[in-house]
Amino acid sequence: MLNDPLANALSNILNHEKIGRDAVLINPLSGVVAKVLDILNQEGYVGKYEIVSEGKGKLIKLHLLGHINKCGVIKPRFGVKKGEFERFEKRFLPARNIGIMLISTPKGIMTHSEAKKKGQGGKLICYCY
Protein backbone atom coordinates (compact mmCIF):
# COMPACT_ATOMS: atom_id res chain seq x y z
CA MET A 1 0.00 0.00 0.00
CA LEU A 2 1.25 3.45 -0.89
CA ASN A 3 1.31 6.20 1.67
CA ASP A 4 1.77 9.10 -0.75
CA PRO A 5 0.57 8.66 -4.37
CA LEU A 6 2.02 12.03 -5.42
CA ALA A 7 5.50 11.16 -4.12
CA ASN A 8 5.31 7.82 -5.91
CA ALA A 9 4.24 9.49 -9.16
CA LEU A 10 6.98 12.12 -9.07
CA SER A 11 9.70 9.59 -8.26
CA ASN A 12 8.53 7.39 -11.16
CA ILE A 13 8.59 10.40 -13.48
CA LEU A 14 12.09 11.39 -12.37
CA ASN A 15 13.42 7.82 -12.69
CA HIS A 16 12.02 7.44 -16.22
CA GLU A 17 13.37 10.87 -17.21
CA LYS A 18 16.86 9.92 -15.99
CA ILE A 19 16.99 6.72 -18.04
CA GLY A 20 15.61 8.46 -21.13
CA ARG A 21 12.20 6.88 -21.55
CA ASP A 22 9.49 8.72 -23.43
CA ALA A 23 6.50 7.49 -21.38
CA VAL A 24 5.66 6.32 -17.87
CA LEU A 25 2.68 4.54 -16.29
CA ILE A 26 1.54 6.08 -13.03
CA ASN A 27 -0.53 4.09 -10.57
CA PRO A 28 -2.86 4.82 -8.72
CA LEU A 29 -5.04 7.45 -10.34
CA SER A 30 -5.59 10.43 -8.05
CA GLY A 31 -7.19 13.83 -8.48
CA VAL A 32 -4.21 15.63 -6.94
CA VAL A 33 -1.77 13.76 -9.19
CA ALA A 34 -3.88 14.63 -12.25
CA LYS A 35 -3.99 18.33 -11.30
CA VAL A 36 -0.23 18.41 -10.69
CA LEU A 37 0.36 16.78 -14.10
CA ASP A 38 -1.94 19.37 -15.72
CA ILE A 39 0.15 22.19 -14.26
CA LEU A 40 3.45 20.52 -15.21
CA ASN A 41 2.06 20.14 -18.75
CA GLN A 42 1.08 23.83 -18.90
CA GLU A 43 4.55 24.84 -17.72
CA GLY A 44 6.23 22.62 -20.35
CA TYR A 45 7.88 20.01 -18.14
CA VAL A 46 5.86 16.98 -19.30
CA GLY A 47 3.66 16.10 -22.26
CA LYS A 48 0.01 15.12 -22.37
CA TYR A 49 -1.37 12.23 -20.36
CA GLU A 50 -4.19 9.80 -20.91
CA ILE A 51 -6.14 7.63 -18.51
CA VAL A 52 -5.91 3.91 -19.31
CA SER A 53 -8.13 1.19 -17.83
CA GLU A 54 -6.24 -1.98 -17.01
CA GLY A 55 -7.80 -4.77 -14.99
CA LYS A 56 -9.40 -3.48 -11.81
CA GLY A 57 -8.00 0.03 -11.68
CA LYS A 58 -7.05 2.95 -13.86
CA LEU A 59 -3.56 4.13 -14.74
CA ILE A 60 -2.16 7.36 -16.13
CA LYS A 61 0.07 7.06 -19.19
CA LEU A 62 2.24 10.17 -19.25
CA HIS A 63 4.38 11.24 -22.20
CA LEU A 64 7.75 12.66 -21.13
CA LEU A 65 9.61 15.47 -22.90
CA GLY A 66 12.99 15.22 -21.15
CA HIS A 67 12.74 18.68 -19.57
CA ILE A 68 12.84 17.69 -15.89
CA ASN A 69 16.12 17.87 -13.99
CA LYS A 70 14.64 17.26 -10.55
CA CYS A 71 11.20 17.04 -9.01
CA GLY A 72 9.85 15.88 -5.68
CA VAL A 73 7.31 16.39 -2.96
CA ILE A 74 7.82 18.77 -0.08
CA LYS A 75 7.39 17.02 3.26
CA PRO A 76 6.26 18.23 5.70
CA ARG A 77 3.74 20.37 3.85
CA PHE A 78 4.93 23.77 5.00
CA GLY A 79 2.37 26.52 5.36
CA VAL A 80 3.31 29.64 3.40
CA LYS A 81 1.90 33.13 3.79
CA LYS A 82 1.62 35.39 0.77
CA GLY A 83 4.89 37.22 1.48
CA GLU A 84 7.09 34.26 2.47
CA PHE A 85 7.67 32.56 -0.89
CA GLU A 86 11.27 33.73 -1.31
CA ARG A 87 12.50 31.74 1.70
CA PHE A 88 11.19 28.50 0.22
CA GLU A 89 12.34 29.38 -3.31
CA LYS A 90 15.89 29.57 -1.95
CA ARG A 91 15.47 26.21 -0.24
CA PHE A 92 13.87 24.13 -3.00
CA LEU A 93 14.72 25.81 -6.35
CA PRO A 94 18.21 26.14 -7.84
CA ALA A 95 18.03 29.85 -8.77
CA ARG A 96 15.66 32.76 -9.07
CA ASN A 97 13.04 32.33 -11.83
CA ILE A 98 14.11 28.73 -12.50
CA GLY A 99 11.59 26.02 -11.69
CA ILE A 100 8.22 26.00 -10.00
CA MET A 101 6.76 25.10 -6.64
CA LEU A 102 3.14 23.95 -6.49
CA ILE A 103 0.96 25.24 -3.70
CA SER A 104 -2.43 24.10 -2.47
CA THR A 105 -4.49 27.23 -1.81
CA PRO A 106 -8.16 27.77 -1.02
CA LYS A 107 -8.56 28.66 -4.74
CA GLY A 108 -7.01 25.33 -5.86
CA ILE A 109 -3.55 24.06 -6.73
CA MET A 110 -1.35 26.62 -8.48
CA THR A 111 2.29 27.58 -9.04
CA HIS A 112 4.06 29.82 -6.58
CA SER A 113 4.28 32.64 -9.12
CA GLU A 114 0.49 32.56 -9.65
CA ALA A 115 -0.05 32.55 -5.89
CA LYS A 116 2.23 35.61 -5.57
CA LYS A 117 0.25 37.50 -8.22
CA LYS A 118 -3.10 36.59 -6.64
CA GLY A 119 -1.88 37.27 -3.09
CA GLN A 120 -2.65 33.74 -1.91
CA GLY A 121 -0.96 31.62 0.72
CA GLY A 122 -1.29 27.89 1.26
CA LYS A 123 0.58 24.64 1.72
CA LEU A 124 3.61 23.64 -0.36
CA ILE A 125 3.05 20.41 -2.28
CA CYS A 126 5.98 19.82 -4.65
CA TYR A 127 8.70 21.42 -6.75
CA CYS A 128 10.04 20.87 -10.26
CA TYR A 129 12.89 22.32 -12.32
Taking the C-alpha atoms of residue 91 and residue 5, their distance in angstroms, rounded to an integer, is 23
Of 48, 47, 54, 11, give the one whose Cα is nearest residue 29: 54
Specify the pLDDT at position 11. 95
Q: Does the model's pTM come out above 0.85?
A: yes
Tens of pLDDT along 9-33? 999 999 999 999 999 999 988 899 9
Q: What's the CATH code, domain 5-64? A: 3.30.1370.30
What are the beta bridge partners of residue 80? Answer: 122
Q: How far apart are CA 27 and CA 30, in angstroms?
A: 8
Q: What is the CATH number of domain 74-128?
A: 3.30.1490.10
Q: Give the per-residue pLDDT at 16.
A: 97
pLDDT digits (tens, 9 = 90+) for 50-64: 999 888 788 999 999
Average pLDDT over every residue of 100-108: 96
Domain boundaries of the chain, sorted by first residue? 5-64, 74-128
pLDDT at 1: 56
